[in-house]
Amino acid sequence: MNPHPDLTVGVIHGLGWLYLLLFFLNIGWSVRSFKVDGQFEDILGFKHIPKAFLWAGYSALLLLVALVHFAVQSATSAEDFVLRLPEFIKNPADSVIANPISFFCLSIVIYIAIIVLRKTWVKPTVSWILFNLSVLFISVSMTDYDFRRIVGKPDNVPIVGMLFLVGFTTWLFFVKANENDKRLAEGRPVREKELSDQVLVWPDLVYTEMICMILITALLIVWGVALQAPLEEPASAVKTPNPSKAPWYFLGLQEMLVYFDPWMAGVVLPSVILVGLMAIPYIDFNTKGNGYYTFNERPFAITTFLFGFMPLWTGMIVLGTFIRGPNWNMFGLYEYWDSHKLEVLNNVNLSDYFWLTFLELPLPKPDPETSFVSQASSILLREWTGILVILFYLFAIPPLLAVTIFKKFFVKMGFVRFMVLANLFLFMASLPLKMVLRWVFNLKYIVSIPEWVFNI
Amino acid sequence: MADNKKLTTAEILALARQQDSGGGADSNDDNSGSSATPESSQAPVPAEDNKPAAAPKSTADILAAARAQGDPVQGGGFEKPKPAAAPGSTADIMAAARAQGGGATKPKPAADAPKSTADILADARAGGGSAAKASPAASQPKAKKTAAVAPVGDRPALKDMVAAVKEAQVTGGPAKPKLPVGKPAPVKPKFPSKKEKVGRRGFVVLLAALAVSPFVLAWSSMSAIAAIWSLATARFMMPNMVLELPSRFKVGPPSDFPPGTVSAKFKAARGIWIVNTDEYDGQGVIVALASVCTHLGCTPNWLEGEQKFKCPCHGSGFYITGVNFEGPAPRPLERVGISVADDGMLEVDKSVKFQEELGQWSDSKSYEVA
């Protein structure tokens, strides 16, 4: 018998409960749709069909699916169960997810779609469809053993919840921002001013907070009882778990460590992130959007923040949690975690490219017997291309930005504030740039001086 | 002048009291009653002028006034000046009443006076003390009671006094402090005999021993405890753990490590791989590589199928020679010292390390020719 069956009776019944829950949610949505959405004027000769009938039909289908799941009672019928993810979908999905280039492109596409299609996807019906699709994606994928193993791991369950939370808060922001942008375009006051829904701290706010506190406490208790802490064997200095993962909120940093030297990814970039977040109030000269939601009045601030938050931070957490497997290789969501998966990689420094490939000369090698000055000159000769590139990136690009695309900013902000902004911007951009260089050109380090423990 | 219909409840009460006391007591009270009338009739005057908020005295004031007038009546009709022009607080009134009560009840038993418990007790003590001198038998029960409540330091305790009195009764004389009954002082020094001398010496020794023994006991037990503590401290300095193994150790004859192999035999215990390879510079060598990733210090694994060391933390990869080729590790794995000992065994020396990027792998201590 298969020790790792895709489907068991327990899994099928659990999915039945999930479909049943979705059924009840959609019954509620059908009621709402009946009251709000109106009706089709003419469909195939039938007049005045309420749009809610579509939702009611969908709900009925969900109920049927749930009942089919509950009907499965024996292990053999579980193995022959029809409603499962077919292999011809799994394999292409795996090859897209497990490839860093396509994964990163996918996250960028989602990010751009969130911003460009912001008027569309936050509409109630559209966002409800998206929510249904995400739940259906998870429930259908749960029929795969490997997906269930990685998503159902007690460590990872809250991260799935976090993804829904990120989606909800983003949706909430764009709903409010869209409404205010519409009002501002029509010359009306923003919603927060016109329909001031100010309430008293006591009792309104305190009451709400207390309810939230009780609910969260109850949730934490249920969570603590239901999901056991994943304890592992005792720690040993000579044995590292494979894969060895950071806490989920540091997985973005761990992903950065794949592309940068430890002092860069572990010290410099996190410090820049923190200092940059602290500097936002001083470099943000845009006084609009103070006290109300808006997108059109602060497009640069919001797109920049969302780029750092969604593809870079949340996307890296998803990558580190669900996709990085043994030996820190990337695995598809439906792929078995094979610790012998062979990924052919050969990372090369920029100096290697310049000397070995371009000039076809051996690398200048510092002679350890000679003086420090001759060694240093030999090292600098070896790395001069990379050093030049870095100097150009940090010192030439900000003025170039100032005279081209950020001209308005430079005029408004003044020299110092603009330079701080430009450098923070460049540091943020360095991560995706380095990732793309690694994936496309197998570039390891732009400047590689291991003799001085200095690699960029 | 006074419109009786508009009297407040308090005033009516005050009037009623006045009449009561006037009716129940001597005709002298008519004076005080008539003197109270204008006082109480002042209140309705502003009421007639339709200025209710201005003048009416508070109920408390009226009551106080009534009490002040009523109390002397109840106290036995003493001719006494009123305590104050303005009626004081309830506390004042009470104090005044008590003072009168105290004065009035001098002949009476002290317990009847409306005093606080503390005062009563104090009085009882004082009275009891004085009464005990006069009639000890009568004071006995009272003294017992109060002594049980609170013996006071600066006064002679009642018990003592009672005892003294009892003694005086028994002996018929004045109370005398009891002296310890002892031998009368010897008139003449007696020269002790030899027998007595020994006995006395033994007695002195016994006394000395008795006097010293607590100290001996205390010091010896303390030293014993201190000794145990120092032993425990000494044991604490040598914890129950595996001490660091010597940095030089033998790994076996070179024939144990055939060409092209990686031995992970000593990885778990000593953190090294023994590698026999000729891929680094064409020369077949046996080297000892430290199993510490040069990226962030995780322990890589040797993957036989892929012929590489692979780190599980960030995916750094190293060739069999230890040279890095994939992932973020910036430099090759480090070699540690290796040599052939006198008995032909390979001996690894972990106290020295050799880094390729510093050109140290050319050092003959970093490899052993296979």
Instruction: For residue A242, give the 3-state DSSP assignment.
Output: coil
| Domain range summary for chain B, segments of one domain joined by + | 4-111, 116-171, 249-369
Query: In terms of pLDDT, which residue wins out, B16 or B116?
Result: B16
Q: Could you please report the per-residue DSSP string of A169-211?
A: HHHHHHHHHHHHHHHHHTTPPPHHHHT-----IIIIIHHHHHH
Q: Could you report the per-residue pLDDT of A88-126, keeping only the tens digit for each?
A: 889 999 999 999 999 999 999 999 999 999 999 999 999
Does the beta-carbon distance from A327 to B312 stay under 8 Å? yes
Asked if residue A56 lies in contact with residue A66, where contact means CB atoms within 8 angstroms, the answer is: no
How many Å apart are CA A424 and CA A420, to the nearest integer? 6
Nearest CA in chain A to B270: A238
Asked if residue A293 lies in contact with residue A97, where contact means CB atoms within 8 angstroms, the answer is: no
Q: Which residues of B touch A346 (CB under 8 A)?
A: 325-326
How many Å apart are CA B172 and CA A152, to the nearest integer? 102
Query: In terms of pLDDT, which residue wins out, B49 or A444?
Result: A444
- Among B193-197, B331-335, B364-368, which stretch is predicted with the lowest mean pLDDT? B193-197
Please report the pLDDT score of residue B112 as a whole number: 46
B285: closest CA of chain A, how far (Å):
22
- Mean local confidence (pLDDT), B11-25: 63
Does the beta-carbon distance from B315 to A328 stay under 8 Å? yes
How many Å apart are CA A232 and CA A99, to the nearest integer? 29
Q: Could you report the per-residue pLDDT of A16-41, keeping only the tens digit for each?
A: 999 999 999 999 999 999 998 888 77
Please report the pLDDT score of residue B1 as a whole number: 43
How many Å apart are CA A73 and CA A8, to the nearest integer? 10
Q: Which residues of B touch A363 (CB under 8 A)?
A: none
* Cα of B187 vs its chain's centroid, Å: 61
CATH number of the structural domain B249-369: 2.102.10.10
Please classify residue B156 by burial: count the beta carbons closer than 10 Å to its beta carbon, then call 0-12 exposed, 13-18 middle and 19+ buried. Answer: exposed
Q: Could you report the per-residue pLDDT of A7-17, keeping only the tens digit for each?
A: 888 899 999 99
How many Å apart are CA B360 and CA A369, to the nearest integer? 11
Give whichever of A43-52, A196-205, A329-338, A388-397 has the largest mean pLDDT: A388-397
Please report the pLDDT score of residue A74 as a whole number: 83
The full length of chain B comes to 370
Closest CA to A326 of B260, B314, B82: B314
Does the beta-carbon distance from B328 to A258 stay under 8 Å? yes
Q: Measure CB to CB from residue B330 to each of A259, A346, A450 and give the nearest one.
A: A450
Question: Hey, of A327, A338, A441, A442, which one would you mutate to test binding to chain B, going by the most B CBs within 10 A of its CB?
Answer: A327
- A vs B: CB pairs below 8 A: 88
Report residue A98 as tokens: 């497990």
How many Å apart are CA A447 and CA A388, to the nearest integer? 9
Which residues of B fall below an 8 Å CB-CB distance to A? 267-269, 271, 291, 295-296, 298-301, 303, 305-306, 310-315, 317, 325-328, 330-331, 357-360
Whole-model pTM: value is 0.67
Nearest CA in chain B to A328: B315
How many Å apart are CA B248 and CA B338, to the nearest integer? 9
Nearest CA in chain A to B272: A238
Please report the pLDDT score of residue B224 as a whole number: 96
Q: Residue B199: pLDDT above 70?
A: yes
| Domain range summary for chain A, segments of one domain joined by + | 1-83, 85-230+292-340, 350-455
Closest CA to A345 of B326, B30, B206, B262: B326
- Mean local confidence (pLDDT), B181-194: 56
ipTM of the prediction greater than 0.85, yes or no: no
Q: Could you report the per-residue pLDDT of A269-289, keeping only the tens digit for each?
A: 999 999 999 998 888 888 888
Phi, psi of B42 (to 5 degrees): -65, -30
Please report the pLDDT score of residue B74 as a whole number: 46
Does the beta-carbon distance from A368 to B360 stay under 8 Å? yes
How many Å apart are CA B27 and CA B96, to the nearest integer? 24
Q: Residue B275: pLDDT above 90?
A: yes
- Mean local confidence (pLDDT), A381-390: 92
Q: Which residues pair with A209 in a beta bridge?
A: none
Q: Residue B47: pLDDT above 80?
A: no
Nearest CA in chain A to B304: A340
A423: closest CA of chain B, how far (Å):
24
Which residues of A fall below an 8 Å CB-CB distance to B? 236-244, 254, 257-262, 266, 326-329, 340, 342, 345-347, 365-368, 444-445, 448, 450-451, 453, 455
Q: Measure CB to CB from residue B298 to each of A240, A340, A445 and give the nearest one.
A: A240
Report residue B122 as tokens: 């104090």
Q: Which residues of A touch B317 (CB under 8 A)?
A: 345
Q: Is the dihedral of CA A26, A32, A36, A39 positive or negative?
A: positive
Per cent of chain A over pLDDT 70 is 100
Report residue B335 as tokens: 């070699």
Q: Which residues of B touch A347 (CB under 8 A)?
A: 325-327
Question: Hey, of A233, A240, A251, A447, which one would you mutate to test binding to chain B, going by the most B CBs within 10 A of its CB?
Answer: A240
Asked if residue A58 lies in contact with residue A69, where contact means CB atoms within 8 angstroms, the answer is: no
Query: In terms of pLDDT, which residue wins out, A153 or A198?
Result: A153
How many Å apart are CA A170 and CA B33, to the nearest integer? 87
Q: Could you report the per-residue pLDDT of B19-42, keeping only the tens digit for each?
A: 665 544 444 444 444 444 444 444
Q: Residue B335: pLDDT above 70?
A: yes
Q: Could you please report the per-residue DSSP string of A353-399?
A: IIIIIIS--PPP---TTS-HHHHHHHHHHHHHHHHHHHHIIIIIHHH
- Mean local confidence (pLDDT), B245-273: 90
- Mean local confidence (pLDDT), A398-423: 91
Q: Residue B77: pLDDT above 50?
A: no
How many Å apart are CA A221 and CA B99, to the nearest integer? 69
- Mean pLDDT value across chain A: 90
DSSP state of A309: I
Q: Which residues of A touch B289 (CB under 8 A)?
A: none
How many Å apart are CA B140 and CA B162, to the nearest integer? 7
- Among A133-147, A239-253, B168-182, which stretch is predicted with the lowest mean pLDDT? B168-182
Does the beta-carbon distance from B330 to A366 stay under 8 Å? no
Closest CA to A173 of A105, A127, A219, A106: A127
Q: Which residues of A touch B303 (CB under 8 A)?
A: 327, 340
How many Å apart are CA A20 and CA A13, to the nearest integer? 10
Q: Measure CB to CB from residue B314 to each of A328, A342, A444 and give the nearest one.
A: A328
Does the beta-carbon distance from A261 to B306 stay under 8 Å? no
Query: In terms of pLDDT, which residue wins out, B370 or A26?
Result: A26
Phi, psi of B209 (to 5 degrees): -60, -45
DSSP state of A38: -
Instruction: For residue A86, give the 3-state DSSP assignment.
Output: coil
Q: Measure CB to CB from residue A261 to each of B291, B310, B328 and give the nearest one.
A: B328
Query: In terms of pLDDT, which residue wins out, A267 or A79?
Result: A267
Q: Residue A228: pLDDT above 70?
A: yes
Q: Which residues of A touch B315 (CB under 8 A)?
A: 258, 327-329
